[in-house]
A and B are shown apart, each in its own frame.
Chain A
């Protein structure tokens, strides 16, 4: 019993973070079937109570705990319904980023094909030009705007823009591991590059890698939020609105999308943006908490057994 208490106390941060993550994922999966969630996102643009006409957006009330948006859709339902898509996009971006970054980092470490120079220059470029500026420029390119696969293209853009930075960080880790003595044994038995990566490098980097991935999840969520304010979203489609006029329309619900009219909402129905921004903050907080908890792990486990 005491053992358990000690373990829980030691890893309180990590456990708490994982608990919060479970809650968020649970909300994404089971939320839509809860009774107070309006799955169809019904649009109630106006109501008539006691002969008084009221027009959406409605402030938070017993009926709508977080209020409604300008179309009269319940904010709480929007958040719950949008959770799975939002989390999916964030995870997809991060996973693709690291799937690209790990081989890049290894090749840069081994200095093949000038990848080393590529990673270095990408990193230099990113240390001067903010990621968000690059993403906005690329997201506005016509082949991407008109593409049917626009959501996927945008996910890849966001993933790749920072892949260089991720690769650079990991390259330094590869360099550090390469200094270790056991590396010589791998070289002595003639292990191939791939085998070296799998059996000699990565096992010592897994923990770091997970920390990088988890903290990147938070960063990606932050970036998506920022893009939301600008009006650039992952799931948008080009629609003809008037003769010869085209406009990007939102086809599905994600959290950043609710932040689109912040500029107007901030001065009036602030609940429309407050709650989505709050949920995003909690999610970022959760990811950072897990990353922080993971960082504390190695110090506690200095054992040769």
Chain B
């Protein structure tokens, strides 16, 4: 409960902090000195900063929201379109790494004394150290080569085909997936040294049923990783979207920051922040109502 409360206070502060960072003055002052000679001056004063902040608040206030584009379309309409595309990638990558990651973790825990489990624990870190961008480049290159060899052709660089989100999500999944497997393995290993495990085994419960028990008890700790997994996916999303020409909210966020479009950048980033907050709240609620409490400190 304490964590829920603390994060509810932190979350608005993070939004304010992000906006303040975004509003740092970036004005350019180009002055003509001679016929073909110009000098650029970048005034960077507190007054400008204050004016930026006032302008930003004023804009949100008068428009009662993010406002409209020049042609009269609400900004949120644009935002929604891009966000919908990105959501496909995010949900697929997040779901896959959380569910598959913990399930594979359980499986490897079950096999940890067999060669497969040992192989994984010695190679898991290696696979997790491949940067997602390299993985993506290999995927694309491989597919292009395959298509040249007669593999059925499909559109590799678009955002509107139903399958467009698959390769970006896969590239984003690899690191969080291995992270989840590792964390599940470590947490369950830790949990398996509890006394109750010895008790149920001695009473004749099967190994697989015991594993389910251990997993259920470790789940609270395993779910803690969800925030980190989502943060990783959201950090890499803009880059992967840029590489794959997948025109989603991540790419738009990056472009609007580079073009100094503060309102746009704020609009594109807000859903990402909200997503992280919602996941945190859901995990906390699950922990309060659903999952077994940690009784070791009682």
Binds B, one of A39-47, A120-128, A166-174, A179-187: A120-128
Asked if B107 is at the interface (CB within 8 A of a chain A CB), the reply is no
Number of A-B contacts (CB under 8 A): 124
Chain A residue nearest to B254 in the complex (CB): A230
Q: Are B257 and A127 in contact (CB under 8 A)?
A: no
Chain B residue nearest to A292 in the complex (CB): B125
Q: Are A226 and B236 in contact (CB under 8 A)?
A: yes
Which residues of chain B from 243 to 285 have a CB within 8 Å of any chain A CB?
A: 243, 245, 253-254, 257-258, 260, 269, 273, 276-277
Q: Which are the 7 A-B pairs with shortest beta-carbon distances?
A: A142-B42, A130-B235, A288-B129, A128-B14, A281-B134, A244-B38, A277-B134
Whole-angstrom CA separation of A127 from B42 in the bound complex: 32
Whole-angstrom CA separation of A82 from B128 in the bound complex: 26
Q: Are A133 and B269 in contact (CB under 8 A)?
A: yes
Chain B interface secondary structure, helix, strand, loop or mixed?
helix
Query: Which residues on the B side are within 8 Å of A138 (C-beta)?
Result: 21
Which residues of chain B from 27 to 83 have a CB within 8 Å of any chain A CB?
A: 27-28, 30, 32, 36, 38, 40, 42, 44
Which residues of chain A from 235 to 253 have a CB within 8 Å of any chain B CB?
A: 238, 240, 243-244, 246
Binds B, one of A30-38, A101-109, A195-203, A265-273: A265-273
Q: Are A140 and B26 in contact (CB under 8 A)?
A: yes
Query: Which residues on the B side are within 8 Å of A132 (C-beta)?
Result: 235, 238-239
Q: Are A285 and B133 in contact (CB under 8 A)?
A: no
Q: Are A284 and B14 in contact (CB under 8 A)?
A: no
Query: Which residues on the A side are within 8 Å of B10 (C-beta)?
Result: 124, 128
Query: Which residues on the A side are within 8 Å of B292 (C-beta)?
Result: none
Asked if A175 is at the interface (CB within 8 A of a chain B CB), the reply is no
Whole-angstrom CA separation of A284 from B25 in the bound complex: 36
Q: Are B24 and A246 in contact (CB under 8 A)?
A: no
Q: Are B18 and A129 in contact (CB under 8 A)?
A: yes
Q: Are B26 and A133 in contact (CB under 8 A)?
A: no
Q: Are B260 and A288 in contact (CB under 8 A)?
A: no
Chain A residue nearest to B124 in the complex (CB): A292
Asked if B185 is at the interface (CB within 8 A of a chain A CB), the reply is no
Asked if B85 is at the interface (CB within 8 A of a chain A CB), the reply is no
